[in-house]
Chains A and B, each alone.
Chain A
Amino acid sequence: MMKLIAAWLMLLLAAPAALAIEAEYGFDDPAMNERYRTLLREIRCPKCLNTSIADSDAPIAADLRREVYQKMAEGYSDDEIIDFLVSRYGEFVVYRPPLKPSTFVLWGGPIALLAIGGFAFVRILRDRAQRPLDEDSIT
């Protein structure tokens, strides 16, 4: 009887260890896993030389991966998880800069460049369409 109890106890004690290996590295559900991996790539490893927590072996990266995993498992949304990390590590820790007055130039920049380019294109084209087509310029 005691042996049986001992055996069950051993099994019970071993089980969490077995689970510990499987858990916290990824989700079994492919959609959740995909969301997890995408989220990991949005978060910067605070101590590394410009890598996301998905791409780093640093202890803090592993800790943060685990943190994100646990929060996702608890049902937090992506935004909530990001807010959680930003409130503790600052905006430095996310790779997608927030949209606020100090980043208007950043987010607006590419669009502005395209707009300026578009204007320039239209202006130059209007000018060139007026000119004689068979003229070539040789100095």
Chain B
Amino acid sequence: MWRYVIPVIVVAVLGVFLYRGLYLNPGYIPSPLVGKPAPEFSLPDLEDPSRQVGSKDYEGQVALLNVWATWCPPCRQEHPFLVQLAKSGVVPIYGLNWNDDRAAALEWLETLGDPYVATAYDPQGDVAVDWGVYGAPETFLIGRDGRVLHKHTSALTPEIWQRDFLPKIAEECGSLPCPLVEGE
């Protein structure tokens, strides 16, 4: 009678899924923003509070938005690479300073170098929530039409840059560095 065979079959099917599961990464959460328009925002500049920094600043360009904070050790680790990246001028990098203290953040940029065209200061984290940020560091790649092309959580390394970001930038621009859009 085949009802006695059902338990073995169930276990076998379960076994297949469990085996597959060993090689999945349950902690990896893809961002629902990828492929959608990036959230618009306007925040005080970290260095000069009377100025506003926001999505308008990189409109029409391919840009990086890097979410960082002084209390975040991996941010410290990726920082030298960001400085290097900024120097190479491939893509402009904008910073979003998240849940942080202005003085500490300024000192950090002073000592470690400032790769950002401008840094927005988001002490309450309202803008970060809009971007679906849940940890630092996170780096977003934004396309010329304002869509989010890619989101990377955790520290940015040369390998990840090569593997995940450059191909998408090349696809978007056709050549590097990205040519500016007319009227910029």
A residues with CB within 8 A of B: 46-47, 59-60, 63-64, 66-67, 86-90, 92
Contacts and interface: CB of A to CB of B under 8 A. Distances in A.
A89 B33 CA distance: 8
Main secondary structure on B side of the interface with A: loop
A90 B135 contact: no
Residue from B33, B125, B131, B134 with most neighbouring chain A CB atoms (10 Å): B134
Given A59-B99, A63-B125, A67-B126, A90 B32 contact: yes
Interface of B: 29-33, 99, 124-126, 128-135
Contacts of B134: 46-47, 60, 89
A87 B126 CA distance: 15
Contacts, number: 39
Interface of A is mostly: helix
22 contacts: A46-B134, A46-B135, A47-B134, A47-B135, A59-B99, A59-B125, A60-B125, A60-B133, A60-B134, A63-B99, A63-B124, A63-B125, A63-B128, A63-B129, A64-B129, A66-B125, A88-B129, A89-B29, A89-B132, A90-B29, A90-B132, A92-B29
